[in-house]
Structure 1
Amino acid sequence: MIRLFHVSDVHFGAEDREAVAWFDSAVHAEQPDAIIMTGDLTMRAKSEEFAAASAWLEGLNRPVTVEVGNHDLPLFNLFARLFRPYRRYLKLEAMIEKPLALPGVAVVPLKTTTRFQWRNWSKGSVSDGSLRRALAVAKDVDPDALTIVACHHPLIEAGTQATARTHGGREALAALAAAEADVVLSGHVHDPFDKMHVEGDRTIRLIGAGTLSCRTRDTRPGFNELRIEGRRLDVVHRVMD
């Protein structure tokens, strides 16, 4: 059995330290095969927040892939946001949008953040280039593997209190389903969800993680545990007491 921990929206700078310690304890005790972090590692994309996030992820001592969240792009420094948005990532760069290949499981990254849009910058957007890169990775996946796409914003709304309103999300979901992706993992909304979505003649599973920050909404801090055996995927929403 492959076990993955899906965590999101830690928001270093506004993290819940007890929740982070609880997650760390679970990782060190249970040793999942990999960790999928679906964005918003930081609160304001500050250097010290990225330094703390980098040290935290390295300290987990597990294979990790990280998606960029809207909070991970500079908010107030327009020049940095447009031209040097990843300058403060430091050692995290090697983990950013990193495909993972595990026995019978493939993790495909999909970027849903954008440096500029004529609306609330927190909302999602799938560019043609981002989708093209994800589809290229998915094309090379073992056809027998369970294909998991990881992104920050839900591609379509999941009925949570917070919204993503992801531009191009529905079209991206259709393209991913056609490419035989099985699962899409996301964060952003700070509440977990697990939904089946029918796209043409395929069903694709949409799974969202909660948050390990102090910025909770309907659910206490938590993360998802994914248990995979062959084509079977069981999801446990683990919530801190």
Structure 2
Amino acid sequence: MPRLFHVSDIHFGAEDRAALDWFAQTVRDEQPDALIVTGDLTMRARRREFEAAADWLLSLDRPMTVEVGNHDLPYFNPLRRLFSPYRRYRAVERAIERPLELPGVAVVPLKTTARFQWRLNWSKGHVSRRSLKRTLRLIEEASSAKVLLVAAHHPLVEPGTAATSKTRHGPRALRMLAEAGADAVLTGHVHDPFDIAHDATDRSVRLIGAGTLSERTRMSRPSFNQIDISGGEIEVSCRVM
């Protein structure tokens, strides 16, 4: 039975050291099969923040996939944001948007960040045709898996939390992911955990959100999700510090 730890919004630069230590110790003690990190490793995409995040992630010593969050795009340098936004990810580049294959389950990435948007708030989500096409291709390649999970940073539709994602083209993407066979979409961004069933087409898709391990908590204390897969069923437990 694969066990996954889903963690998000670590925000090095505004990290909660006690929460990081608690999570790392839990990983060492319980040895999950893989980690799913749904974005916002840093607060302002500074070099020292990425270096600290990379050191911490590598110290966990587990298979992982890491999504890019809006806070991970250069904040103070617009040229770097447009032309080399992911350069500081190099320490963990092999994990960035990496598909994972485990017995009975596949995890595929969906990028929901954008270097530029035609609106004032660039922190909100955006699903491009190119990103969605890649994810749908990865789902097709992993179609033999009993359970298909999609990992993204922004919720594709609003989950009813205090914070919002306002993801452009999110509802359309969710419909197409459901039609392709996705069983759940794992996200972060809003800093509060959730687990809801959403009827995207003629089938239901689980929307699973992780909280934060940073000082930027909202309604919930620092937490992460434990996801157990057994017999094609998904069981989610929110682990709160």
How big is the shift at 1:180?
A: 0.6
How big is the shift at 1:89?
A: 1.2
Post-superposition CA distance 1:129-176 (Å, at most 9, x none): 000000000001133420000000000000000000000000000000
Aligned partner of residue 143 in structure 1, secondary structure:
coil
Equivalences for 1:92-241 in 2 at 5 Å? 92-119=92-119, 120-240=121-241
Is structure 2 residue 10 aligned with structure 1 residue 10? Answer: yes
- Which letter maps to 2:206? R
How big is the shift at 1:91?
A: 1.5
Aligned residues: percent identity?
A: 62
How big is the shift at 1:65?
A: 0.3
The normalised TM-score by structure 1 is 0.98
How big is the shift at 1:227?
A: 0.8
Aligned partner of residue 159 in structure 1, secondary structure:
coil
Post-superposition CA distance 1:56-112 (Å, at most 9, x none): 111001001000000000011000000010111121111100000000000010000
8 Å Cα contact 2:106-2:145 kept in structure 1: no
Cα RMSD (Å): 0.7
Aligned partner of residue 22 in structure 1, secondary structure:
helix
d(CA) in 1 for partners of 2:141 and 2:135? Answer: 10
Greater Cα shift, 26-35 or 223-232: 223-232
Change (3 A) 1:144 1:96: closer
Unaligned runs of 5+ in 1: none
d(CA) in 1 for partners of 2:122 and 2:238? Answer: 28
8 Å Cα contact 2:12-2:41 kept in structure 1: yes
8 Å Cα contact 1:50-1:90 kept in structure 2: no
Unaligned runs of 5+ in 2: none
- Which letter maps to 1:86? Y
Paired positions, count: 240
